[in-house]
Structure 1
């Protein structure tokens, strides 16, 4: 085996290319990206610096060259022939592979209402540049979708003094990923900052200067941004006959239904030990999956078992969540000077933790909680609630036991 192709030059695809070299793979590595830029990170796009969109490179051209990675940019993969083990590119080239990684990521969900074409998406650097350049002269912005991206954008725009309205069909914002306690606190902070919310209502039409809701309300909007989530980009995999669901289905080793093809990042739905598949949408999980997939394509047999983790910054508040909190978990709250933590127990075992505080002040606590989760401990709930009990001491005790 001496030819590996990676389709997708985002966080997961690019990290996998370098991880192949780090694992000792000496064959050819080809990285294919649809955008004309060097690979860049997406999280900074919603956090402009001095009003300018940040394009933070994942790596430089010199690093790619030094690692012997052939980066083909500005093209897409138009056809995957599993039997011939080849990929046809949009520029007409056909490349052969021995192993293939699909890191095709995700694409924005599309609105279906009348006038949907007037909205701006938020996924790529050009998307972010278009939004922030137009808000330089805008007086009002309507953000359709009260998820993480929508709320981050709302915070940024309010910081610039722009009137912001958030439209969400659910009864509350941040309902899908954020624990209810912290979702309510972030919602309250946005209200304090002057954001207007229209919850539990659909959209009838988008016109030049407003979003018309299903109840007849006209929400003023010089700019309307669609932030209603993403869909895994499975088109190439599906056309090639790979098993797909809510993503490209993989086993615990990130191998798809074709033993020569792997998937990682936002496009991958990974098998779980208890059954079913889960798709993890976060920067760190994209990197972790990339490293596992790379080692396995190079001949390893590593299981992907990373603990899910994500963060969001809104105003001066930072939220981090490790693990997968569920409504039926027992919860324990710890109050701290700079914020609060919430722990989630399943049958006594710690399975998730979340923290909301000023800036990055709780990062160390969440990291320790994540290590406790990985250790599979069943801590005393009273100790978790007691701020005088050091989490590091709990971890040390668990390891000793």
Structure 2
């Protein structure tokens, strides 16, 4: 396949793909640039879907990276007519939905993922909703009326944020979690506990260690029957049980795939001139570390930008410190670096009744931190923790745990 003057192509027009396309233009790339996506909308950010967009305080324009007019001004071809059917890495080509082939110079896979489906639930039930796209969020928002009975399946961040928004809109909310605690795969027990206490205090009927027997109804879900025999009537059923990465295209093309598309330190896949970024990208934080994926705003933003630089031949290693945030009523959770569900190494209290938890390595160097506080109050501490992680200086445990010793002082020392 003739690749002379072939375009740069991005498959996936979500946050990571959109950021990459905009970066390519801002960095001076003037050649043909094609952005292929599943949705008709221009690239947008996903965090507002479970917050501002559900609440009606923002709209698509408020969470978009740009609009269609701007894409046109930048001469970014945004194709939404159909999916890419297959890749031929050796020939630097991809097959389009109409069967034709397109040559590419370099390719970015930012294919993201799709919401995991609840097993044994008929697809036709109109009020069984998932939350992955803007259109799904609009459908859900139209059903969140005062007095509506909402059952949420999944005690991760999507489920919890939907529950908080629904309660603020006057809905009756029951949240079902199969595990023994909320967000138990990613958060330590203390944070799971404060989330549980807060949501219950705000009126969410949180049920842990539950299993669903069946979803009852015909055209619409009318109730959720639990294995223990309880039956929970519902007007809406929202499922937030995780995301399934869209790796099929890469796997069929012979690329190295684990839980995502595996890349090297420069975000390049196992095939020449094919890179990956965003939710679908499986990478190592350190050369000898474990492969991981990051389903966060920050990862999509940073990897989309970084992959674009390397598509242009920069050859830069990706070493961005991970992090995420999640809002619950008037409280906020923020993290930086490597955290886990394990017991943290140390903690300190904050002035507003919150706290910061720290994860250290054997040399007393900070690996990660997570904080809980009113509104955005914890942001400054988490930013300082990010700088402590970057500098890699061993820390004294008594000073780290002493709220009277500022983190800025530790950084200065």
TM-score between the two structures when normalised by the length of structure 2: 0.91
Distance apart, 1:232 and its partner CA: 0.8
Cα deviation, 1:355-381, whole Å, max 9, x if unaligned, reads 111111111111111111111122112
Question: Do the aligned residues in 2 keep the contact of 1:329 with 1:346 (CA within 8 Å)?
Answer: no
Secondary structure at 1:21's aligned position in 2?
helix
Normalised TM-score (structure 1): 0.94
Corresponding position of 1:364 = 380
Distance 1:163 1:303, change over 3 A: same
Spell out, residue by residue over 1:263-320, the C-alpha distance to the aligned partner (whole angstroms, 9 max, x if none): 1000011134224311111011111111221111111111111111010001001000
**TM superposition shift of 1:116:** 6.3
- Paired residue for 2:71, among 64, 76, 81? 64
Out of 206, 225, 231, the residue aligned to residue 218 of structure 1 is: 231
- Measure the CA separation in 2 of the matches of 1:364 and 1:287: 20
Deviation at 1:179, TM superposition (A): 2.5
Tell me the residue number matched to 1:345. 360
**1:335 aligned to 349, 352, 357, which one?**
349
Q: C-alpha displacement at 1:115, in angstroms?
A: 4.3
Indicate yes or no: 2:119 matched with 1:112: yes
Q: Which of 82, 90, 112 is 1:83 aligned to? A: 90
**Structure 2 gaps, min length 5:** none
Q: Distance in 2 between matches of 1:337 and 1:91?
A: 61
RMSD, matched Cα? 1.9
Q: Which digits, 9 at most, give the CA deviation of each residue in 1:45-94, with x for residues without a partner? A: 11135842632211123432343322223432122222332222225553
**1:127-206 alignment runs, 5 A limit:** 127-136=136-145, 139-206=148-215
Give the 4+ runs in structure 1 shifted more than 4 A: 114-117, 327-330
The answer to whether structure 1 residue 11 and structure 2 residue 15 are counterparts is: yes
Q: How far apart are 1:188 and its partner, in Å? A: 0.3
Deviates more, 1:111-120 or 1:381-390: 111-120
Contact 1:330 1:346 in 2 (8 A): no
Structure 1, unmatched stretches of 5+, are none
Match of 2:59?
A: 54
Greater displacement, 271-280 / 324-333 = 324-333
SS in 1 for 2:40: coil
CA distance in structure 1 between the aligned counterparts of 2:53 and 2:43, rounded to whole angstroms:
19
> Take 1:90 and 1:279, find their aligned partners in 2: how far apart are those partners?
28
8 Å Cα contact 2:87-2:253 kept in structure 1: yes
- For residues 122 and 49 of structure 1, do their structure 2 counterparts lie closer, same or farther at Cα, with a shift above 3 Å needed? closer
Looking at structure 2, the residues matched to 65 and 200 of structure 1 have their Cα atoms a distance apart, in angstroms, of 51
SS at match of 2:345: strand
Rounded Cα–Cα distance in structure 2 between residues aligned with 1:330 and 1:49: 34
Q: Is 1:321 aligned to 2:335, yes or no?
A: yes
Provide the rounded CA distance (Å) in 1 between the counterparts of 2:166 and 2:213: 24
Confirm or deny: 8 A CA contact 1:333 1:342 kept in the other structure: yes
SS at match of 1:231: strand
Q: Is the 8 A contact 1:114 1:204 kept in 2?
A: no
- Partner SS, residue 209 of structure 1: strand
The number of aligned residues is 397
Residue pair 1:210, 1:219 contacting (<8 A) in 2 also: yes
Whether 1:229 and 2:232 are equivalent positions in the alignment is no
Give, in whole Å, the separation in 2 of the partners of 1:98 and 1:302. Answer: 19
Q: Distance in 1 between matches of 2:147 and 2:252?
A: 42
**Preserved CA contact (<8 Å) 1:8 1:105:** yes
Contact 2:53 2:137 in 1 (8 A): no
User: What corresponds to 1:97 in structure 2?
Assistant: 104
Kept in 2: contact 1:250–1:270 (CA 8 A): yes
* Equivalent position SS for 1:16: helix
Q: Does the alignment pair 1:274 with 2:288?
A: yes
> Which range moved further: 25-34 or 146-155?
25-34
